[in-house]
């Protein structure tokens, strides 16, 4: 198949969940011997190293730089426009022109679009007339994501989220009716999406997030410190909220039982609120790191203390692949078919969450047993190769039909 992939972010380096998914989709499409052209926006400086990491999987690779917009600037831009937040944030006339040129230059079997907002660049009716199969890879069910912010986010976010929800629903009604297939990362997102599709002929497939089980392997480093770890982009509101809740409300209870326990917050662009957590006993904030694996190798427990958000948390799957047992909230392990108590611990209450962390820090045998069970689950269900093999077969059948 000739496949055009559109991305609102250059999927290298692999320092964000969205980039990881886009990269492995490209890799597996190329591995299946399909001809892939990637057309991507770039919000940050990039160089030959970044392009060379992607070139093996792309017959053609085109990158359109776009002005970097801070979260605040993008929010203000969206607030005073009729466009949803992410459409306003990623807007680029140059990218729109490049998309139009690329579509005119070839007959595409599939146009694979990452993120809802990227549909704004496409002449959707024209694609339908030409018979291209249009696939939307959601990453998150955006409406569900923003509805959660409107309900449970920080007070100053709620008004903006409510306004954005209204604009998002209008935008979805305009663009989703032209989409042939929506890819959701979890059953919950898929069910939510099905109820909101304006065109009943649109198919919804569950294509979960995965991990590279070849490069992410349990460390043999022994012994590990009483270290608890959280990895993620620390300028994301849901990550900021998660680590603040854990550091201030849960971790002090952990240290009562394990006085030498440490909580390491690992990830790029920590906000001032996250940096302030370093003043708390035992809390460390690293900022950007080149490779998270050495940090996981020194940790006994990974936490996913999310109180809101959507999609599937890649950081949970990564920890499981790396042999670090996980304690998560229900939101933190959403979309992962794991058995609580066997593959990970799931607790919503802060007191119980702390108790589970303490159990894993103190009981080495149980810690190793859970880590082994979690690794086996990831190998069986969440390797990128097995996930994408199924999706590619479905897509090939749709194109042939």
Lowest-confidence pick of 149-158, 361-370, 379-388 = 149-158
End-to-end CA distance of the chain: 13
List pLDDT tens digits, range 330-355. Answer: 999 988 999 999 999 999 999 999 99
Give the Cα separation of 311 and 335 in Å (integer). 7
Cβ atoms of residues 108 and 132 within 8 Å: yes
List the structure tokens of 363: 């009981």
396 and 247 in one domain?
Answer: no
Domain of residue 272: give its range: 227-381
Q: Answer yes or no: is 217 within a domain.
A: no
User: What was the pLDDT predicted at 242?
Assistant: 96
User: What was the pLDDT predicted at 22?
Assistant: 98
What CATH number is associated with residue 205?
A: 3.40.50.2000
For the residues 162-179, what does the mean pLDDT come to? 94
If we measure between CA atoms, which residue out of 394, 385, 399 comes closest to residue 27? Answer: 385
**Better-scored residue on pLDDT, 361 or 66:** 361
348 and 294 in one domain?
Answer: yes
Q: Answer yes or no: is 303 within a domain.
A: yes
User: What was the pLDDT predicted at 311?
Assistant: 66
Count each helix (H run) and each strand (E run) in the chain, helices first: 17, 13
Residue partners of 320: CB distance under 8 A and separation at least 6 = 211, 326, 338, 343, 344, 371, 374, 375, 377, 378
128 and 198 in one domain?
Answer: yes
- pTM for the full predicted model: 0.90
Q: Answer yes or no: is 74 within a domain.
A: yes
List pLDDT tens digits, range 309-326. Answer: 766 789 999 999 999 999
Q: Tell me the pLDDT of the chain averaged across its residues.
A: 93
Overall number of domains in the chain: 2
231 and 373 in one domain?
Answer: yes
Q: Answer yes or no: is 205 within a domain.
A: yes
Q: Answer yes or no: is 260 within a domain.
A: yes
Q: Does residue 223 have a cis peptide bond before it, meaning omega lies within 30 degrees of 0?
A: yes
264 and 143 in one domain?
Answer: no
88 and 51 in one domain?
Answer: yes
26 and 154 in one domain?
Answer: yes
Q: Answer yes or no: is 216 within a domain.
A: no
Give the Cα separation of 56 and 74 in Å (integer). 33
Give the Cα separation of 303 and 313 in Å (integer). 11
Cβ atoms of residues 355 and 251 within 8 Å: no
Q: Answer yes or no: is 221 within a domain.
A: no
Cβ atoms of residues 270 and 287 within 8 Å: yes
Give the Cα separation of 384 and 231 in Å (integer). 20
250 and 196 in one domain?
Answer: no
71 and 195 in one domain?
Answer: yes
Question: Within 10 A of 302 (CB to CB), how many other CB atoms are there?
Answer: 28
Tell me what percent of the residues of the chain surpass a pLDDT of 90.
Answer: 75
Q: CA-CA-CA-CA torsion for 14, 18, 23, 28, nearest 10 degrees? A: 140
If we measure between CA atoms, which residue out of 5, 3, 205 comes closest to residue 99? Answer: 5
| Helical spans, DSSP H, in 153-309 | 155-175, 187-194, 237-245, 251-257, 272-275, 293-297
Give the Cα separation of 316 and 65 in Å (integer). 31
| 3-state class (DSSP) for residue 310 | coil
233 and 183 in one domain?
Answer: no
Cβ atoms of residues 307 and 295 within 8 Å: no
Q: Answer yes or no: is 219 within a domain.
A: no
User: What was the pLDDT predicted at 49?
Assistant: 95
249 and 200 in one domain?
Answer: no
42 and 139 in one domain?
Answer: yes
**Is 80 exceeded by the pLDDT of residue 68?**
no
User: What was the pLDDT predicted at 223?
Assistant: 64
């Amino acid at each position: 198949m000739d496949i055009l992939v559109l991305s609102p972010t250059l999927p290298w380096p692999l320092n964000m969940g969205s980039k990881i998914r886009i990269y492995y989709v490209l890799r597996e499409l190329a591995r299946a011997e399909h001809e892939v052209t990637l057309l991507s926006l770039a919000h940050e400086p990039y160089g030959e190293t970044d392009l060379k990491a992607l070139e093996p999987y792309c017959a053609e690779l085109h990158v359109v730089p776009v002005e970097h917009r801070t979260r605040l600037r993008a929010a203000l831009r969206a607030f005073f426009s009729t466009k949803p937040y992410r459409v306003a944030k990623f807007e680029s006339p140059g990218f729109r022109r490049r998309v139009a040129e690329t579509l005119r230059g070839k007959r595409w079997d599939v146009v694979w679009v990452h993120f809802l907002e990227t549909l704004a660049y496409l002449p959707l009716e024209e694609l339908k007339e030409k018979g291209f199969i249009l696939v939307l890879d959601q990453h998150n069910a955006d409406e569900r994501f923003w509805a959660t912010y409107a309900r449970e986010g920080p007070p100053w976010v709620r008004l903006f989220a409510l306004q954005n929800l209204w604009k998002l629903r209008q935008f979805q009604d305009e663009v989703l009716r032209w989409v042939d297939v929506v890819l959701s990362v979890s059953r919950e997102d898929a069910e939510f999406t099905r109820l909101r599709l304006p065109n009943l002929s649109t198919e919804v497939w569950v294509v979960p997030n995965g991990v590279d089980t070849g490069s992410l392997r349990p460390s043999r480093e022994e012994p590990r410190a009483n270290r608890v770890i959280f990895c993620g982009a620390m300028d994301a509101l849901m990550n900021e909220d998660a680590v603040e809740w854990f550091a201030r409300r849960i971790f002090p209870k952990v240290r009562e039982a394990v006085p030498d326990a440490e909580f390491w917050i690992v990830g790029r662009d920590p906000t001032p609120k996250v940096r302030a957590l370093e003043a708390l006993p035992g809390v460390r904030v690293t900022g950007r790191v080149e490779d998270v694996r050495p940090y996981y190798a020194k940790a006994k427990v990974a936490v996913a203390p999310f109180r809101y958000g959507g999609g599937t948390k890649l950081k949970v799957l990564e920890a499981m692949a790396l042999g670090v047992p996980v304690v998560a909230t229900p939101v933190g392990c959403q979309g992962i078919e794991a058995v609580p108590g066997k593959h990970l611990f799931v607790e919503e209450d802060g007191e119980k969450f702390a108790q589970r962390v303490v159990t894993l820090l103190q009981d080495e045998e149980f810690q190793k047993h859970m880590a082994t069970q979690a690794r086996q689950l990831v190998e069986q269900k969440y390797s990128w190769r097995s996930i994408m093999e199924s999706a590619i077969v479905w897509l090939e059948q749709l194109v042939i039909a």
